[in-house]
Amino acid sequence: MHSDVERILFTEKQLKKRVAEVAREADAFYAGKNPVCVGILKGGIIFYSDFIRNLTVPAELDFMSVSSYGSGAVSSGKLKIKKDLDCDVKGRDVLIIEDIIDSGFTLANLKRLLCERGAASVKIATLLNKRPARKYDICPDFNCFDIENEFVIGYGLDYAERYRSLPYIGVLKRSVYEK
């Protein structure tokens, strides 16, 4: 275990099993459809790549990069689109695939934006749901794990661009960001 990690929440094995389960649920939901899977860079990429490999429906892959966090552990409360989609979502079934829902600000804004662009439907898949931190009225349609209000890293999730490549999800030691 990395020395900045207080404890491991989900092991590589647990992640693999649960992500496959949830992705298969989404796959059944989209039977007969051709959804656009919108991955949210960068934190969502590892979850995204494991998730889509469990889909059998013909899904189109696309990406957006948005940020609501600076390099810190506290939300800045402003959504910035850093990279937009390549595809036009008008009339399409969109599945947003994101690492974590915290205050809900990012996903509430993204969902609204994609609806405004004329998507036929917009659903949300998340790896982690930090339910006690929710400030906006939004919840994922497909979620792998509920977690407490703790700052987690690994499996794509970072703190100041570090720890993304850890194969597990761990709680970051407070001493790392409370310096």
Task: Give the residue numbers annotated as catalytic, written as ranges.
Answer: 102
Query: Judged by CB under 5 A, does residue 43 bind Mg ion?
Result: yes
Q: Whose Cβ is closer to ligand IMP: residue 33's or residue 162's? A: 162
**In the complex, least distance from residue 130 CB atom to ligand IMP, rounded to whole angstroms:** 6
Choose among 49, 4, 39, 29: nearest CA to 154.
4
104 is a site residue for Mg ion (CB under 5 A): no
Please choose, from the candidates 77, 96, 111, the residue with its C-alpha nearest in 3D space to the C-alpha of residue 143.
96
Query: Is residue 156 within the footprint of ligand IMP (CB under 6 A)?
Result: no
Q: How far is CA 55 from CA 27, 28, 129, 152, in A?
A: 5, 9, 22, 27
Residues 47-76 that bind ligand IMP (CB under 6 A): 68-69, 75
The number of helices, as runs of H, and strands, as runs of E, in the chain is 4, 9
Tokens of 131: 């339910």
| Count of residues touching Mg ion (by CB under 5 A) | 1
Residues 136-155 within binding reach of ligand IMP (CB under 6 A)? 151-153
Figure out which of the listed residues 102, 111, 114, 143 binds ligand IMP, where binding follows CB under 6 A: 102
Whole-angstrom Cα distance, residue 169 to residue 14?
10
Where do contacts with Mg ion occur on this chain (CB under 5 A)? 43
